[in-house]
């Protein structure tokens, strides 16, 4: 009489391994990132629709009411974008919060706008001072609109 115990044990181990593999594949590895991001395109111009004549613009998106972080040591990230297009187009995949192109937190954001020259030096006179400061910028966008339309007033002649 032969025993089927080794075969039965092998089947049980195989079933357990398959179950573990299925569980791992369903849960995924996780990004370790406590926030979710959205990718939305945008465009920045003056109020009259003309482009801002700077080699590039650096935009910083500051969350207005960020979601609470599950980790008390971590705060909601600001997003950044460098706009290099002559017409002010902001590709969705160039807005970065944590990893390049991940987008920004869902919701409303204040937008700081600073124009730069080709040597990465700030350019005076193209954007009114209030837009250059995160605390005073009047620009607010909402990711719920599906596209970030940013229109700023032209600076007064002779302003810096």
Identify the bridge partners of residue 44 per DSSP, sorted by sequence position.
Answer: 150
**Could you list the residue range(s) of the whole structural domain that residue 60 is in?**
42-152
The pLDDT > 70 percentage for the chain reads 76
Q: Is residue 79 domain-resident?
A: yes
Picking from 85, 78, 38, 37, the residue whose alpha carbon sits closest to that of residue 59 is 78
Number of independent structural domains in the chain: 1
Identify the bridge partners of residue 131 per DSSP, sorted by sequence position.
Answer: none
Average pLDDT, the chain: 83
Cα–Cα distance, 121 to 125 (Å, whole number): 13
Q: Is residue 54 domain-resident?
A: yes
Q: Is the pLDDT of residue 116 over 90?
A: yes
The structure's pTM equals 0.76
pLDDT at 5: 60
Q: Is the pLDDT of residue 108 over 70?
A: yes
Q: Is residue 16 domain-resident?
A: no
Q: Is the pLDDT of residue 21 over 60?
A: no
- The whole-number average pLDDT for the span 92-103 is 92
pLDDT at 12: 61
Q: Is residue 30 domain-resident?
A: no
Q: Is residue 22 domain-resident?
A: no
- The whole-number average pLDDT for the span 54-73 is 88
The pLDDT > 90 percentage for the chain reads 64
Q: Is residue 74 domain-resident?
A: yes
pLDDT at 26: 37
pLDDT at 66: 85
Structure tokens at 102: 């991940």
């Amino acid at each position: 009489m032969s025993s089927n115990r080794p075969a039965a044990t092998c089947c049980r181990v195989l079933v357990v391994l398959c179950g573990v593999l299925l569980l791992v594949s369903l849960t995924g590895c996780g990004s370790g990132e406590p926030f979710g991001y959205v990718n939305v395109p945008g465009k920045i111009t003056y109020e009259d629709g003309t482009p801002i004549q700077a080699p590039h613009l650096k935009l910083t998106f500051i969350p207005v009411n960020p979601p609470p972080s599950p980790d008390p040591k971590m705060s909601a990230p600001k997003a950044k974008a460098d706009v290099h297009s002559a017409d002010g187009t902001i590709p969705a995949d160039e807005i970065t919060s944590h990893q390049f192109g991940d987008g920004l937190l869902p919701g409303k954001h204040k937008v700081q706008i600073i124009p730069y020259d080709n040597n990465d030096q700030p350019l005076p006179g193209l954007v009114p001072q209030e837009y250059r400061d995160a605390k005073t910028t009047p620009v607010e966008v909402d990711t719920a609109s599906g596209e970030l339309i940013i229109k700023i007033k032209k600076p007064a002649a002779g302003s810096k």
